[in-house]
Amino acid sequence: MTAAPPYPQKRTCPYQPPEGYAAVEEQGPVLKVTLFDGREAWMITGFQEAREILTHPNLSSQRTHPNFPIVAPRFRSGIARNLALIAMDPPVHDTYRRFLNPHFSLRSARTMRKDIEEVVKGYVDDILDQGPPADLIPALAVPLPSLIICKHLGVPYADHDFFQEASGRVMLGTEEDSVAGGQALVDYLDRLTHDQIANPTDGLLGTLVRERVQTGEMNHDELVSIALVLLIAAHETTSSSLALGLITLLEHPDQWARLQADISGLPRAIEEILRYVATTDLVATRVAKGDIEIGGHTIKAGEGVLVSGTIANRDEANHADPHTFDIGRPDTHHLTFGFGIHQCLGQNLARLQIEIALEALITRIPTLRLAKPVSELPILGSGTVQRVLSLPVEW
């Protein structure tokens, strides 16, 4: 019997899967992998199999289950195992989604377009005023989603350096970093939500206070937990997706030129970026609460389950020439934002920010290019979340 390959594995290219994933893909679409602590878990790598299992009633998000698959030491912390929404099953999960969905709908995101355009314009103005070279991580990719989620939640942007650093420790640090960063964020949000309850503002946190806390449908601790998830997820993944998407485009100058010739193709191009890059390697970490028959295998109750977006998004059964980056492909469907009831809450806002930022760069700095070979860009991440620490460009 073939040994269960190790998971996760580190990327050597910011936008390409680790080389070892080719062997994982060959053993799929349902196989076992070996985690960092020596335990095994099931991994789903097929696109259709992923969609099937993500809607299966026997799949649970309860991270406190003793057999829940922990893919990195930082996710063993109590905070990481009790996150609102992410670590919840129905009916509690469904209640929280009902509270939040209207505030992250496509309609809601579109009302923020003008504000985002103004913010992006200011950042690009500054980049042009400074002149080449420029590092687009601190100049655009990090501050843009940070500022937008601050405005949306009603979090003081003056504190953005603190929560950017703390959220980075939670998502990409050691186990000790994750615990310390998570607790620092919880303490900060505890104080902030107390202020909101005493004097609610116009942001989402203030709205939730008026609509849910004051009616008794949500308590203070629940509001803190929700704010924590929204603050981390909205900042970290959008920032990385924008940076990695830009790198991918610049490394494919023919695709960059296609967008220069017809910027109306940008929304489809973004879907291809999301499919191809898969910033978050996993779209789901779960545990089976009952037996699941899938792909000719039986996943037994109590066994861990992982769903790889990186591999499923390149499934040859669903995508023609899946390892080719083609912004005009008709089959751009992907699992980067998940599937089923846990599909990413903030996907509409993330898409909008990436679209506006890329359009500004393509139209205002058409000769943009990397100032260093992509092989020299510093990558941070253990294989589950990808991030580049600098993105030097010139024009």
Closest CA to 89 of 56, 43, 46, 40: 56
Q: Mapping DSSP to helix (H, G, I), strand (E, B) and coil, where does residue 16 land?
A: coil
What does the mean pLDDT of the chain come to?
92
Q: Write down the pLDDT at residue 122.
A: 98
Q: Write down the pLDDT at residue 161.
A: 83
pLDDT digits (tens, 9 = 90+) for 372-390: 999 999 987 656 788 899 9
Per-domain boundaries in the chain: 21-394
Alpha carbons within 13 angstroms on the beta-carbon side of residue 244 total: 28
Q: What helix, strand, coil percent values describe the chain, rounded to 5?
A: 55, 10, 35
Q: Please, which pLDDT band fits residue 155 given cuts at 50, 70 and 90?
A: confident
Q: How far is CA 6 from CA 20, 147, 288, in A?
A: 9, 37, 21
Q: Please, which pLDDT band fits residue 1 given cuts at 50, 70 and 90?
A: very low
The CB density around residue 384, as the number of other CB atoms within 10 Å, is 20
Which range has the top average pLDDT, 61-65, 351-355, 387-391? Answer: 351-355
Which amino acid, one-letter code, is at 53? Answer: I
Instruction: For domain 21-394, give the CATH superfamily.
Output: Cytochrome P450 (1.10.630.10)
pLDDT digits (tens, 9 = 90+) for 83-113: 888 999 999 999 999 999 999 999 999 999 9
Which range has the top average pLDDT, 81-85, 159-163, 170-174, 338-342? Answer: 338-342
Q: Which of 250-264, 334-348, 372-386 has the lowest mean pLDDT?
A: 372-386
Q: Write down the pLDDT at residue 174.
A: 77
